[in-house]
Amino acid sequence: MTTYTNFTVETDSDGIALVTWDMPDKSMNVFTQEVMDELEAILDSVTADDAVKGAVVTSGKSTFSGGADLTMINGMFDLIRQEKATNPQGAAKMIFDQVGRMSWLYRKLETSGKPWVSAINGVCMGGAFELSLACHGRVAADSDAVKMALPEVKVGLFPGAGGTQRVPRLTNQQEALMMMTTGQNLSPKKAKSMGLIHEIAPPDELIAAAKKMILDGLKPVQPWDEKGFKLPGGAIWSPQGAQLWPAASATLRKQSYGNYPAAYAILKCVFEGLQVPFDTGLRIEQRYFTEILQTPEAFAMVRSLFVSLQELGKGARRPAGVEKTSFSKVGVVGAGFMGAGIAYVTAKAGIPVVLIDRDQEAADKGKAHSEGLVAAAVKKGRMKQEDADKLLSLITPTTDYAALDGAELVVEAVFEDQGIKKAVTEAAEAELKEGAIFASNTSTLPITGLAKNSRRPNDFVGIHFFSPVDRMMLVEIILGEETGDKALAVALDYARAIKKTPIVVNDTRGFYVNRCVMRYMGEAYSMVVEGIPPAMIENVAKMAGMPVGPLALNDEVAIDLSQKINRATIADLGEGAVDPRHVELIDTMVDEHGRHGRKNGKGFYDYPEKPAKKHLWPGLKDLYPQQAADDISVQELKNRFLATIALEAARTMEEGIVTDPREADIGSILGFGFAPYTGGAISYIDSMGVAEFVAMCEGLAVEHGSHFEPTPLLKEMAPKGETFYGRFGEKTQMAA
């Protein structure tokens, strides 16, 4: 056996080398420069040793590999910044050479003259799947834990180590494009049906099956290196290609509105690469990857959706010196839609949960929510029946607060009423052991005020979930004035246990996400009042990168709720706190037309019975005189939507509500889908440049109101050339 830092190589009596990737001190294998150096050394050794007939590469961990390492990604962006500063003329060539390292290493492997087989035992993502595709044989374990994907497009990149060339040479171009432009996960069965792997084997027979491929005479030549190779889905210039390519380009345009350069690069790599020899295709891919790596979209998306997301998910904001909490029991008080969802995600994480409501019928109804979710998952093959039964067994519906005894955490999710929340807090705390944490899932009531109901405000914290709880990745951890480090640490430990991404927010009306969402919807109200056609409002918002138009979003959260928020805000802060035009619009919708949103089938949209689709309410355009669409600047509407949200994000940082730009970015993307290609609301400002953003906002303020006036902090930062990430000391520094 030969041992490297990250690999072991053991050659059996049949002359087959088993290359086992098992990085020390890491839970998952990832690509680093050292890993690639060692892999190349192993490849050279296998190639040179006449006693070795072939090699099987697998993982010594439960997963195969998650792809690239954070430090490697950071290193790429640092290198780009340094090279552009010191050698702008040669920067592109340097980047081109650097990004080709992995691609040409894989090409060296597949042309080495000896057969290689990848034995995929678990999650296999990105560069690791591209390594597998470069192997001459691929065997995956028959397990739900095995997922294969090329997900780079989700972080602003694309498969740049041969993925865009190998996938469409193994499967038809339509499926190849779908897989790479969406980053979808493939099960072993799906991957085999696409021709991306050759065999599926029982987990305990995986290595034997991989070795057998070599012993059975696996050719050390890839299909595209064979004479007479033909593309499985037909050539680019063929009747099949003539049907596919115009539609593929149009579909991508419809889905992305041109906001994601990496997705377009995938189409270009495949379209151009399949018309030339394979090595030329790899160089085409390398050139496009060099280009994409230098785009602001790639930098911002990698920073937020790869680096920051992982850092926050691992507890970047967790207080030091507080022992980690392992949960043996969690209580949820309030078995309505939100409470039932919280109970579900808690039980799904393997944590016993007590679900309390005022009567047994209500508590049982809360558990029935989980029963419905697991039944649907079992029906779709996403969950085994035994796993469903185990999950449900962990939920105990009851009316008895004594059942909370022994819980490390209780989450209150009752109606947004101060009196009800006070009663629940007192009843729960009477049963909790010393040191247990009480959390309120509130979306509107300040945590500091709610904590006054507690005998121990130091152990009181807010955990704001988003609906539907089982699908939304984000939670806001809200700190009251007296919330202690242990309460924060327990809340973060809980978020990690249930696989949610937390952001830490100081106490304020609307916290962070809802403040930004209200600005988004408020700008739409202004546009409706101005007579901008409602369809244009919705479509331009999606063109700007938002997943849902603001009017459709308001229907989901309920228009009558917006009315209640308006009235509560005016009662607390005075008439000037809400634009009177907005009050009039919402009151007209609710009071005169009975349009409350999706919940009563009538909002800004009409909701006919299925299979008919929802459509904008025709009467909406009759409320105000309509402008001619041709006279309206689409770019200015896009700027209004993005700027009003980004300004609110900047305000929260200036006020100290959000203290870390990573959290402002992640919160805006995961909370309500703020244009992911920007990297988030704060990255949007930093990428544009604060001075340019200030100038844009000043112009918008002249035309559309004082709410676009730049904040004092922005005006201070603009002449200095500062960025939010630079000023607020984000720990994971990346190139600017």
Residues taking part in catalysis = 464
Q: Are 498 and 341 in contact (CB under 8 A)?
A: no
Tokens describing residue 106:
């894989």
Prior bond to 712 cis, omega within 30? no
Report the 10 Å Cβ neighbour count for 525. Answer: 22
Q: Are 38 and 21 in contact (CB under 8 A)?
A: no
User: Judging by DSSP bridges, how do beta strands 605-606 and 615-616 pair with one another?
Assistant: antiparallel
| Calpha distance 438→331 (Å, rounded) | 9
Tokens describing residue 202:
């029982």
Write phi, then psi, for 597 (nearest 5 degrees). Answer: 120, -165
Torsion sign over Cα 156, 118, 45, 53: negative
Burial class for 436, CB neighbours closer than 10 Å (0-12, 13-18, 19+):
buried
CB-side exposure of 422: number of CA atoms within 13 Å?
Answer: 6
Tokens describing residue 243:
């049907």
Q: What is the 3-state secondary structure (H, E, C) of 507-550?
A: CCCCCCHHHHHHHHHHHHHHHHHHCCCHHHHHHHHHHCCCCCCH
User: Judging by DSSP bridges, how do beta strands 137-141 and 199-201 pair with one another?
Assistant: parallel
Task: Please state at what angle helix 163-170 crosses helix 261-273, rounded to 10 degrees.
Answer: 60
Classify the phi-psi angles of 17: left when phi > 0, otherwise alpha if psi is within -120 to 50, otherwise beta: beta
Q: Are 357 and 400 in contact (CB under 8 A)?
A: no
In 317-467, DSSP assigns E strands to 330-333, 353-356, 395-398, 409-412, 437-440, 460-465
Tokens describing residue 553:
């979003």
Closest listed residue to residue 331, CA positions, set 356, 364, 305: 356
Report the chain's terminal Cα–Cα distance, integer Å: 45
DSSP class per residue in 81-122 = HHHHHH-TTTHHHHHHHHHHHHHHHHHHHHTSSS-EEEEE-S
Write phi, then psi, for 179 (nearest 5 degrees). Answer: -60, -45
| Calpha distance 596→400 (Å, rounded) | 36
| Calpha distance 489→320 (Å, rounded) | 9
Q: Are 568 and 541 in contact (CB under 8 A)?
A: no
| Calpha distance 48→730 (Å, rounded) | 47
Identify the three-state secondary structure at position 558. Answer: coil
| Calpha distance 332→355 (Å, rounded) | 5
